[in-house]
Structure 1
Amino acid sequence: MAQTQSKETSDYNSRSVAIQVTGVRRQDLMHRSNYTVRVPYTSMSKAIQNIHRIGGKITSISVDSYGASSSDKEAAEQGVTYPQLQNKNPRLRERAMREIAKNRTEETIPQLMAILSAADVVYRRAAVQTLGVIGLDAVPSLAEQLVNSENDTVRASCAKALAAIALKYKEETFPAIALEALEKALRDTYPVVQISAVGALSTVGSPALPILQDALAMENLALQVAAIGALGSIGDTRAVEPLSALANNPDADPYIKESAESALSRLDQVSKMSQRNLV
């Protein structure tokens, strides 16, 4: 028996997406570095990945809804461009984040991922926080792009979004795929990604302790100091041994020794505070 296509599916497939891109010089566009990519709505995720792969930055995304009503088109455009995430009023941005997370569709996460390369810092940070509100459903996309994106800003934003998820969903088990991606990010060539990964691991807490402990042996002074600080903040007494070893190592860099001593003091305070909260 022949199957008929529903109006909802037909309208969905009839949409096309206009992606505004900057930062890539194209020979077919002479010397212009700003251009528009038009693809079917259903191919948007793949197009975004290709743009990131060649180093492009997406400045905006809009939808043309052929065959849909004007109200449907307006709703579609609202869902993709998320203008309120750029609002200067933080309360309006926060409201938009909650609404986007509450009413998300299968395209919401790809749309937010696209914003992670935006030049507008406020817009980009709002997307990071919205992914944090969405939570564990966003982890696979964030982990994949943290490891594979060729865009430094996207990778750093992915690490920050994973930190936001860890902070908001403390009672949930932090996914292994995210821990593995953050561990790989410690060896990233971009320092901001490295430090952002340490920050995320610090937010994860005890499950990240082995990774942070391994980071102490990396030949990167800034990364070592960041890992030391993270170990001092997570409140896990298992961190006492590696931190003490550094603090008492006569051959260690003086700054490393001093950082380890400070971390031990902070760890003691955090541990005592945690014990008081349990009483």
Structure 2
Amino acid sequence: MAHSRRELGRLDRRYSLRAWPLPQRVRVSSDGRWLEWSYPRGPGAEQLATRRDPSSELLQAFIGLTDSAAPQIEKFALRWGVFHHRGKAGPGERGRDNLQRWFQTIQGFRGVLGLSGALRIGGIPGLHDLRLAMRLFPRGQRDPYLERVWARCTSLLLATPGRRRTVAAMERGQRIETTRHVLKIVTQSTLRAAHTTPCVILDAGSPNGFCLELAGGSFKAALAAALLNSVISGEGGPAFCDGCGRAHQPRRRSSVGRRSFCDVCRQQGVDNRVRVRDHRAYRRSLRL
């Protein structure tokens, strides 16, 4: 039976992971700068190893973290793991993560998900999302292309509204290509930072008899897999509330340019207030 090249090239986008250990204790430092963690002493450390498939649950929980909620951060770390740890827990091992780096990564992931979501529904990637995604690349670690992207986003965001609309309309095609390039670099660098690479394995349960697996058991690898699922296959991409900015599961798929609100903001009437504000701004623009 003949198969087209496209059919042979399809992969079942199900990324699985080996188990990784979880810390026994975590604590946000009194100054809020560090997440201190420790693993249990003795052979019981290996009993904490767990296997989780990357899912929207992990991704939404991660990008929903805020720097003002220490209990939320500690609860997340106990369930999913910590950044600094590489996947092999020594008896009684201790360490700490820089929380500033955590929140830079969270903001970067929010931007990446916003960019991939816009491309997936045929929208125009937002300049703010591009700028957030660039936070995954600290200054001094960007190639010349990414430096130009950063400068372009910054100049447009600081421009007057009229100038911004004019330039943005002219550069839509360029912005889509730029976004694709940035997403490619982000996914590659995320996998590299997690010390993991996808490999093809045989899997009788997959439609094509094989699937991709990420080699490497760690929290970083789990995040990389979840991000890969969202960017490539569109799975697990959450929405962000236009009222409070937190990630949430929308009631229905949002169309391009349509605002999205979480249940809490809806109950507080934030959605109605924002719509009234948008309408007034639109009426003012007609009088200019």
What TM-score do the two structures reach when normalised by structure 1?
0.25
* Higher Rg: 1
Higher helix share: 1
What TM-score do the two structures reach when normalised by structure 2?
0.24
